[in-house]
């Protein structure tokens, strides 16, 4: 688990019979930790070098397109890395019409929110507006990084766009990963879930910003050319400090609700994977939130898989809207390994959710978190300060 600040980057190395297979889950950050994401990329490329000095990764998994999961792929260093396969959620499929619609809707809302909040931040620094702006920027298209994932790397990798569909297709093996069985638990293609991926509140908001369904010529209310520096004397005498505060805060709640809706929608596209490697069961849920978790927990076959979990990448940086109580208290077993990549951000003081980590701590003591490296339980985990935390999980088969 690399120290990327607020983001995710996990490297799984499977050693067997003198060979090593390598899986990289995400590489991104929205707020840097002790080192920049470009430094982390250099660390990864060094770690995946084969004896001939060439950097190789068997499978790159991009769980979803949020900046805190993909920004590192914008580095030009990836051009020389040989990759066999790239896995992304089905919503990244460039030929899928539903996927095109979802990406388009999310991108429009992200751009509108970013433009609006950046304008407000120029007027005054406000923690709530900053939170909206960060959520919007996190959801923007991240084109250089996504270009690498879709068209970059050396070795002409195969791209797979994964979804929950027929059970025979949701469980598979690939030549690139010998003796690894992969189970795709999300994202779903169910129409109800798709609606959650397409923020419903966004359509009315987009009418202010030139969306496709607009009536031509509709003006944006309170646009900048209506503003003036200071107040006319007759207005200045009428407005108290309290009045000004109320006026300045108008619309902030609307922006925040839309940004939260957008954030959940993009997280709703997140890959949720369970890997069976040598009898160990590794659960990587990305940032999957309640829609995906509910579907998995209500599907007997998938719920049974969750009971096998021996390693858990704690979802969504330890936030409240991932890792359901049902999973912690009634599904997962005891004494599993767990890691959470997280970092304090002023705008989101409840991430990580300490109540969640405390509940997980009642099931296992083998939990490592990047924001509290000094408290990492050793010798279970090995810590390379400010760079990464690693754990060796023995193969059972």
Task: Look up the domain containing 227 and give its range.
Answer: 101-137+199-261
Can you say how many angstroms the Cα of residue 367 is from the centroid of all Cα atoms in its chain?
20
Structural tokens at position 108: 């429009």
Residue 389, beta-bridge partner list:
383
User: Span 181-197, mean pLDDT?
Assistant: 80
- How open is the CA angle 162-167-169, to the nearest 5 degrees? 40
Is 292 or 227 the better-scoring residue by pLDDT? 292
User: Span 311-339, mean pLDDT?
Assistant: 93
Report yes or no on 227 lying in a domain: yes
Structural tokens at position 235: 């207005």
Please enumerate in sequence order all residues whose Cβ is within 8 A of that of 76, keeping only pairs 6 or more positions apart, or say none.
Answer: none
Q: What is the pLDDT of residues 233-288, one digit of tens each?
A: 555 566 677 766 666 655 555 566 676 777 777 878 899 999 999 999 999 999 99
303-308 contacts at long range (C-beta below 8 A, 24 or more positions apart): 303/331, 305/183, 305/185, 305/274, 305/281, 306/274, 306/331, 306/332, 307/331, 307/332, 307/333, 308/274, 308/276, 308/281
pLDDT of 19 over the 70 cut: yes
Integer angstrom CA distances of residue 315 from 59, 70, 319, 378: 20, 16, 7, 23
Residue 162, pLDDT score: 95
| Domain final residue, candidates 261, 289, 305 | 261
CA distance 283 to 262: 25
Residue 294, pLDDT score: 87
Residue 15's φ and ψ, nearest 5 degrees, are -105, 125
- As a whole-number percent, the residues of the chain with pLDDT over 70 amount to 78
Same domain, yes or no: 211 and 153: no
Q: Which of 274, 285, 351 is nearest to 26 (CA)?
A: 285
**DSSP one-letter code for 363:** T
- As a whole-number percent, the residues of the chain with pLDDT over 90 amount to 56
Count the domains in the chain. Answer: 2
Report yes or no on 295 lying in a domain: yes
Same domain, yes or no: 281 and 253: no
Contact yes or no for 62/69 (Cβ under 8 A): yes
| Domain final residue, candidates 244, 261, 278 | 261
Report yes or no on 396 lying in a domain: no
Same domain, yes or no: 24 and 172: yes
Residue 216, pLDDT score: 38
Q: What is the pLDDT of residues 82-103, one digit of tens each?
A: 999 999 999 999 999 988 888 8
Min mean pLDDT across 55-64, 164-173, 190-199, 293-302 is at 190-199
pLDDT of 300 over the 70 cut: yes
pLDDT of 194 over the 70 cut: no
Min mean pLDDT across 35-49, 149-163, 235-249, 376-390 is at 235-249
Same domain, yes or no: 30 and 75: yes
Q: What is the pLDDT of residues 127-138, one digit of tens each?
A: 666 777 777 667
Same domain, yes or no: 273 and 350: yes
Same domain, yes or no: 379 and 340: yes
CA distance 202 to 220: 16
Contact yes or no for 282/275 (Cβ under 8 A): yes
pLDDT of 227 over the 80 cut: no
| Domain final residue, candidates 243, 261, 279 | 261
């Amino acid at each position: 688990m690399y120290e990327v600040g607020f983001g995710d980057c996990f490297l799984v190395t499977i050693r067997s019979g003198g060979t090593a297979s390598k899986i990289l889950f995400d590489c991104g950050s929205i707020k840097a930790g002790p080192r920049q994401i470009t430094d982390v990329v250099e660390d990864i490329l060094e770690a995946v070098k084969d004896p001939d000095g060439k950097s190789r990764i068997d499978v790159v998994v991009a769980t979803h397109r949020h900046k805190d999961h993909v920004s590192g792929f914008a580095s030009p260093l990836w051009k020389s890395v040989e990759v066999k396969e790239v896995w992304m959620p089905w919503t990244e499929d460039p030929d899928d019409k539903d996927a095109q619609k979802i990406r388009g809707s999310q991108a429009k809302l992200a751009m509108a929110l970013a433009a609006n909040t950046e304008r407000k931040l120029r007027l005054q620094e406000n923690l709530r507006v900053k939170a909206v702006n960060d959520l919007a920027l996190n959801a923007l298209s991240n084109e250089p990084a996504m270009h690498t994932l879709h068209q970059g790397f050396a070795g002409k990798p195969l791209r797979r766009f994964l979804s929950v569909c027929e059970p025979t297709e949701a469980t598979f093996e690939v030549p690139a990963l010998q003796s690894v069985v992969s189970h795709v638990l999300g994202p779903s293609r169910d129409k109800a879930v798709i609606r959650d991926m397409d923020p419903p509140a966004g359509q009315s908001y987009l009418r202010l910003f030139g969306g496709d369904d607009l009536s031509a010529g509709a003006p944006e209310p309170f646009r900048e050319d209506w503003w003036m520096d200071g107040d006319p004397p007759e207005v200045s005498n009428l407005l108290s400090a309290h009045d000004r505060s109320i006026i300045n805060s108008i619309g902030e709640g609307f922006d925040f609700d839309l940004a939260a809706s957008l954030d959940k929608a993009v997280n709703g596209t997140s890959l949720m994977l369970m890997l069976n490697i040598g009898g160990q069961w590794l659960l990587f849920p990305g940032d999957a939130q309640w829609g995906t978790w509910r579907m998995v927990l209500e599907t007997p076959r998938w719920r049974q898989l969750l009971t096998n979990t021996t390693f858990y990448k704690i979802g969504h940086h330890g936030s409240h809207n991932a890792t359901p109580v049902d999973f912690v208290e009634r599904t997962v077993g005891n004494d599993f390994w767990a890691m959470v990549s997280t970092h304090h951000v002023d705008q989101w003081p409840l991430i990580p959710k300490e109540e969640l980590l405390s509940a997980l701590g009642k099931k296992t003591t083998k939990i490592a978190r990047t924001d509290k490296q000094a408290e990492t339980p050793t010798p279970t985990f090995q810590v390379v300060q400010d760079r990464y935390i690693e754990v060796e999980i023995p193969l059972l088969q």
